[in-house]
């Protein structure tokens, strides 16, 4: 059966429609073809295209014999993806035909041409990516919203600048909720967790889901889109070393701002000033700069303090995962009021999302003890490796290999029928000399082995917390925590 694959990144007037692609491909199809259509999806990769993946699966089952496309760049714009897909199609003897480019893979010329076209398709994709990147930063420099979902408290809109409409943001009713969040968080004793619980109690949906998390609250508080950008805001970002698009005179306290850079650089400590840019937007600000900066200073202070869930509380932090929801298991430490004793507890991070019911019965001390015992068993099974002589031993091994190769070559000479008696005598002398050298090398190797210094047996319980952590991360992938037992997933 023939298959037709069609793809369209964006449905707009000047783009090639799905219907046009199908019409051209049907003209060369045999019988009624099976259609695979991906709408509104980029051609930069194949993993995010459901119909393309369905096509690959049908190829595997033997349903498809030929694939027809309007043009190669509809199929893929990545040379690597095309190469892998082509090998996959070849494995199942499936032909590939590009209708408008007049070549198919059933001919040698077609096979060569299709790879040449794949190179040009990838070049075009890279040029498009660069144009999009340049256009993105052009919009930022002009104060326009660069695109994507609007920040919390706003929605996407357009405004007229000069004689054309440009992208912008407009205030929504939930901007008042954002202001309330900031006012509550500005209190010295309020935490992000307190805000999360407040939002859950009032059943207010988050920016991207129905539930708020401490992380999503932190991102909303950090976003400068809603702050009235004045001289104080300018000074704050300038001290951070951020590249400022606008001059100080533009910070008149009327408009919001935007901070762009590498993905994830939203906190002060994560911010790379070489990659970050700040610009005034063309939309109105709402939050007073004094309130917004108060929240930033509190967030900055919180980031400077070591997290209560950090490695200092357990050498297993980062490896512990919940068997119920798959999220991280946190280890927290506090002083018990009754006797002042320091106590460590564990808690699934899924509790923050109110969707995890795991109640671990094991204490962190028991978990550490169990993991420690398993790692000690591993060390006990390992044969100790001598230290201090590896370089000398390696050189001897290389020399022994060279001698064995030389002996093999000489033996090949003796096997020839035309070898003369003089040659035989010469070869025998060489073999005898090589044998003597090899004997001495083996004796030297044995001597070094006898003189080797072996490391002391590792007692895991005697290692420092840092060393325990390093060993655990070297050998373990995950420690899965269940209600009353744990499971270890090993890297080796």
Tell me the three state secondary structure of residue 415. Answer: helix
Per-residue pLDDT, averaged over 453-464, amounts to: 73
- Chain-centroid distance, C-alpha 163: 43
DSSP character for 2? Answer: E
Alpha-carbon distance values, 443 to 21, 399, 451, 452 (Å) = 76, 13, 12, 14
Q: Say if residue 297's pLDDT is above 50.
A: yes
Residue 214 and residue 193: Cα distance in Å, rounded?
Answer: 6
Question: What percent of the chain shows pLDDT beyond 70?
Answer: 79
Measured CA angle at 251 (ends 248, 254), to 5 deg: 170
Whether 317 and 294 have beta carbons less than 8 Å apart is answered as no
Q: Say if residue 272's pLDDT is above 80.
A: no
| Class for the domain spanning 2-133 | alpha beta
Comparing 129 with 161, the larger pLDDT belongs to 161
Q: Say if residue 268's pLDDT is above 50.
A: no
- Of 365, 351, 358, 366, nearest in space to 483 by CA: 358
Kindly indicate the confidence band of residue 302, based on its pLDDT and cuts at 50, 70 and 90: low
Per-residue pLDDT, averaged over 275-285, amounts to: 89
Per-residue pLDDT, averaged over 272-301, amounts to: 86
Question: What are the DSSP calls for 59-110, one per residue?
Answer: HHTT--SEEEES-HHHH-S-HHHHHHHHHHHHHTT-EEEETTTTEETTSHHH
DSSP character for 142? Answer: T
Considering the chain, what is the average pLDDT of its residues? 81
Going from N- to C-terminal start, the domains of the chain cover 2-133, 168-304, 308-384+457-492, 390-451
Neighbour-count burial of 87, counting CB atoms closer than 10 A to its CB (0-12 exposed, 13-18 middle, 19+ buried): exposed
Whether 245 and 224 have beta carbons less than 8 Å apart is answered as no
Among 16-30, 39-53, 255-269, whose mean pLDDT is lowest? 255-269
Q: Report the predicted TM-score, pTM, of the whole model to 2 decimal places.
A: 0.42
For residue 225, how many other CB atoms are within 10 A of its CB?
Answer: 23
152-173 pLDDT per residue, tens? 999 999 988 778 888 999 999 9
41-50 pLDDT per residue, tens? 876 677 788 8
Kindly indicate the confidence band of residue 265, based on its pLDDT and cuts at 50, 70 and 90: very low
Residue 36 and residue 56: Cα distance in Å, rounded?
Answer: 11
Comparing 136 with 154, the larger pLDDT belongs to 154
Comparing 353 with 87, the larger pLDDT belongs to 87
400-457 pLDDT per residue, tens? 777 887 888 888 877 776 778 888 888 888 888 888 998 988 888 777 766 655 556 7
pLDDT of residue 448: 73
Structure tokens that stand for 333 in this block: 């430490």
């Amino acid at each position: 059966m023939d298959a037709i694959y069609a793809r369209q990144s964006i449905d707009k007037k000047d783009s090639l429609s799905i219907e046009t692609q199908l019409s051209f491909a049907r003209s060369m199809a045999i019988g009624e073809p099976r259609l695979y259509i991906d709408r509104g999806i980029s051609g930069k990769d194949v993993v995010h295209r459901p119909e393309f993946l369905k096509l690959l699966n049908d190829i595997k089952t033997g349903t498809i014999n030929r694939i027809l496309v309007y043009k190669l760049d509809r199929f893929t714009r990545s040379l690597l993806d095309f190469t892998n897909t082509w090998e996959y199609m070849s494995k199942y003897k499936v032909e590939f035909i590009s209708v408008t480019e007049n070549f198919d893979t059933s001919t040698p010329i077609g096979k060569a041409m299709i790879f040449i076209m794949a190179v040009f398709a990838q070049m075009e994709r890279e040029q498009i990516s660069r144009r999009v990147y340049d256009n993105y930063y052009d919009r930022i420099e002009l104060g326009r919203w660069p695109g994507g979902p609007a920040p919390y408290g706003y929605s996407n809109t357009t405004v007229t600048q000069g004689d054309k409409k440009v992208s912008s943001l407009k205030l929504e009713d939930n901007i008042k909720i954002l202001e309330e969040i900031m006012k509550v968080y500005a209190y010295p004793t309020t935490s992000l967790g307190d805000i999360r619980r407040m939002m859950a109690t009032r059943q207010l949906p988050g920016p991207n889901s129905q539930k708020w998390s401490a992380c999503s609250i932190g991102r909303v508080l950090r976003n400068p889109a809603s702050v009235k950008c004045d001289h104080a805001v300018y000074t704050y970002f300038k001290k951070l070393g951020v590249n400022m698009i606008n001059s100080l005179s533009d910070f008149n306290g009327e408009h919001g701002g935007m901070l762009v850079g590498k993905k994830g650089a939203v906190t002060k400590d994560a911010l790379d000033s070489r990659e970050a840019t700040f610009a005034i937007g063309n939309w109105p600000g709402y939050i007073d700069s004094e309130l917004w900066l108060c929240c930033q200073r509190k967030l900055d202070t919180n980031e400077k303090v070591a997290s209560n869930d950090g490695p200092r509380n357990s050498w297993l932090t980062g490896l512990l995962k919940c068997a119920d929801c798959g999220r991280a298991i946190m280890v927290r430490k506090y002083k018990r009021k009754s006797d002042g004793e320091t106590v460590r507890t564990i808690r699934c991070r899924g509790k923050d999302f109110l969707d995890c019911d795991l109640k671990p019965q094991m204490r962190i001390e028991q978990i550490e003890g169990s993991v420690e015992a398993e790692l000690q068993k591993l060390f006990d099974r390992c044969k100790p490796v001598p230290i201090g002589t590896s370089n000398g031993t390696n050189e001897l091994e290389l020399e022994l290999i060279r001698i064995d190769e030389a002996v093999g070559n000489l033996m090949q000479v003796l096997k020839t029928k035309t070898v003369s008696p003089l040659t035989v005598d010469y070869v025998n002398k060489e073999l005898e000399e090589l044998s003597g050298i090899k004997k001495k090398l083996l004796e030297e190797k044995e001597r070094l082995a006898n003189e080797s210094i072996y490391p002391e047996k590792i007692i895991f319980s005697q290692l420092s917390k840092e060393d325990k952590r390093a060993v655990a991360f070297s050998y373990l992938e995950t420690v899965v925590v269940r209600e009353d037992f744990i499971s270890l997933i090993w890297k080796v």
